[in-house]
């Protein structure tokens, strides 16, 4: 049976059920009725239609709680697919995921520098369209595209004020026109926080700070159970917390920012300089590789016990801990999660971060904040991009439903 996603878009209720089952995995008719404030017969009717259309399957019965066990329903993972795009300053990953967030095709990783690159947007569009054309499933089964990217982003208008200028128009609308699919964009660190909240170590927590350890150092803020964006949508610029008055010059034009002192790009620069000065390390043969390759090599070397790599990351971790002390004083979060690319060496970073917290943070505040390492790690942004698409899944027909 060929599954056609457009068939589920006939009613808003069915869209909401698909979206809810994506997040909650398995629910009964009674649970769905309570969540949507709809009658059980109307929920049962929608569920039966979704089963006929190939979107929902019976999952079995819930554990006994003393009465009749309710039948659970779950989403069918191959009912439709999401194209997830995870971008950073120098590379982009594109991958097709099913509704269990499992990859159904190999990821494409392309070198795509965003800064001062007028061809970045056209290159992105070309590679997305090429990926869709080569995908093992038909385009009409792709529900849409979620994209995480660095920069100051207006998620309502779909504009990135830092990168990928679409001639002043909405970037998400431009990408949708060029790909023929719904497109939603958001800041990469916000999407990593979203992934951790919905499917990761911060699931169901209300006040969590998620640190995106990538080429920069980003922050996604979960406040009272929602992604906190601030007045203009630009909250969470942890990278630009000033650590010193006379530090290195940052890309923002200021001196001493956390990003200029402790980001992965800085770690790479220090590694190359150390190798030139004769430091003994397994990285010596890699000193002419580009930053992306060298950055991954540093993480691997640290995992394998390379003392120089561990020293570099420990220095970075201490400075990150100093910034986190400021964050804890302001936000008093229950949990801080180390996520993104750098989560791979999270255990190495924990000790210097904790050392800095002991030095710079009020003990009562520090002791009430739990520091955790993400289990999603480098996949968090891709999963967050898929979550972004599914969070907007039931909005596509609002104008039709309300007409």
Residue 340 resides in a domain: yes
Give the pLDDT score at 106: 95
Q: Is 197 part of any domain?
A: no
Give residue 247's pLDDT.
Answer: 75
Q: What pLDDT sits at residue 66?
A: 65
Same domain, yes or no: 173 and 262: no
Both 341 and 388 in one domain: the answer is: no
Is 29 a domain residue?
A: yes
Q: Among 16, 43, 75, which residue terminates a domain?
A: 75
Instruction: Assess whether 268 and 162 both reside in one domain.
Output: no
Residue of 335, 324, 349, 339 whose CA lies nearest to 374: 339
Output the pLDDT for position 7: 45
Say yes or no: 93 and 174 in one domain: yes
Its pTM stands at 0.89
Q: Residue 364 is encoded by which pair of tokens?
A: 């009562």
| Residues of the domain holding 211 | 203-375
Residue 156 lies in a domain: yes
Answer whether 230's CB lies under 8 Å from 214's CB.
no
Q: State whether 150 and 240 are in the same domain.
A: no
Other C-beta atoms lying within 10 Å of the C-beta of residue 246: 6
Backbone angles phi, psi at 133, to 5 degrees: -65, -30
Domain boundary at 75, 104, 132, which? 75
Distances (CA, A) of 96 to 39, 71, 101, 350: 36, 31, 9, 33
**Considering the domain boundaries, does residue 198 fall inside one?**
no
Pair of tokens at residue 308: 């120089």
169 with 60, same domain: the answer is no
Domain termination site, one of 75, 100, 123: 75
CA within 13 Å, CB half, 61: 7
Which pLDDT score, from 0 to 100, does residue 293 have? 75
Strands (E), 176-327: 183-187, 208-213, 217-223, 226-227
- Stretch (H or E) spanning 46: helix 40-52
- Looking at residue 307, its pLDDT comes to 95
Q: Are 210 and 217 in contact (CB under 8 A)?
A: no
Range list of β-strands (E), 197-321: 208-213, 217-223, 226-227
DSSP-derived secondary structure for 367-384: HTSEEEE-SSGGGHHHHH
pLDDT, tens digit only, all 403 positions of the chain: 344 444 444 478 898 999 999 999 899 999 999 999 999 999 999 999 999 999 999 998 888 666 688 899 999 999 999 999 999 988 999 999 999 999 999 999 999 999 899 999 999 999 999 999 999 999 999 999 999 999 999 998 999 999 999 988 999 999 999 999 999 999 999 999 999 999 999 998 899 999 999 888 999 999 999 999 888 778 888 888 888 877 787 777 788 789 889 999 899 999 988 988 889 898 876 555 556 678 888 999 999 999 999 999 999 999 999 999 999 999 999 999 999 999 999 999 999 999 999 999 999 999 999 999 999 999 999 999 999 999 998 765 433 233 3
- Same domain assignment for residues 291 and 146: no
Give the tokens for residue 288: 């002419």
């Amino acid at each position: 049976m060929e599954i056609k996603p457009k068939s589920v878009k006939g009613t808003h209720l069915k869209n909401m059920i698909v979206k809810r089952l994506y997040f909650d995995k398995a629910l009964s008719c009674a649970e769905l009725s309570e969540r949507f404030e709809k009658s059980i017969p109307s929920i049962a009717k929608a569920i039966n239609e979704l089963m006929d259309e190939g979107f929902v399957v019976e999952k079995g019965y819930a554990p006994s709680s003393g009465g009749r066990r309710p039948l659970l329903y779950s989403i069918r993972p191959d009912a439709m697919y999401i194209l997830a795009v995870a971008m950073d300053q120098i590379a982009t990953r594109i991958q097709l995921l099913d509704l269990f967030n499992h990859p159904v095709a190999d990821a494409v990783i392309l070198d795509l520098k965003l800064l001062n690159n007028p061809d970045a947007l056209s290159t992105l569009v070309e590679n997305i369209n090429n990926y869709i054309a080569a995908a093992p499933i038909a385009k009409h089964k792709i529900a849409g595209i979620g994209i995480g990217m660095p920069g100051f982003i207006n998620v309502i208008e779909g504009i990135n004020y830092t990168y990928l200028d679409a001639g002043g128009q909405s970037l998400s609308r431009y990408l949708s026109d060029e790909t023929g699919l719904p497109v939603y964009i958001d800041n990469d660190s916000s999407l990593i926080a979203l992934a951790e909240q919905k499917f990761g170590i911060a699931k169901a927590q209300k006040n969590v700070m998620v640190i995106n350890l990538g080429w920069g150092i980003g922050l996604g803020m979960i406040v009272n159970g929602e992604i906190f964006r601030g007045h203009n949508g630009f909250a969470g610029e942890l990278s630009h917390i000033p650590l010193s008055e006379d530090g290195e010059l940052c890309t923002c034009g200021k001196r001493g920012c956390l990003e200029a002192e402790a980001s992965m790009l800085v770690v790479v620069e220090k590694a190359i300089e150390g190798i030139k000065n004769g430091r003994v390390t397994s990285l010596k043969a890699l000193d002419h590789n580009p930053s992306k390759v060298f950055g991954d090599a540093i993480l691997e070397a640290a995992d394998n016990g390379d003392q120089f790599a561990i020293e570099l990351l420990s220095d970075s971790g201490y400075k990150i801990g100093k910034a986190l002390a400021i964050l804890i004083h302001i936000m008093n979060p229950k949990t801080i999660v180390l996520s993104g690319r750098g989560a791979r060496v999270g255990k190495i970073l924990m000790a210097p971060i904790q050392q800095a917290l002991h030095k710079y943070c009020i003990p009562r505040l520090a002791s009430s904040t739990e520091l955790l390492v993400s289990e999603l790690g480098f996949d968090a942004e891709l999963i967050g991009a898929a979550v972004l698409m599914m969070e907007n899944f039931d909005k596509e027909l609002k104008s039709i439903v309300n007409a």
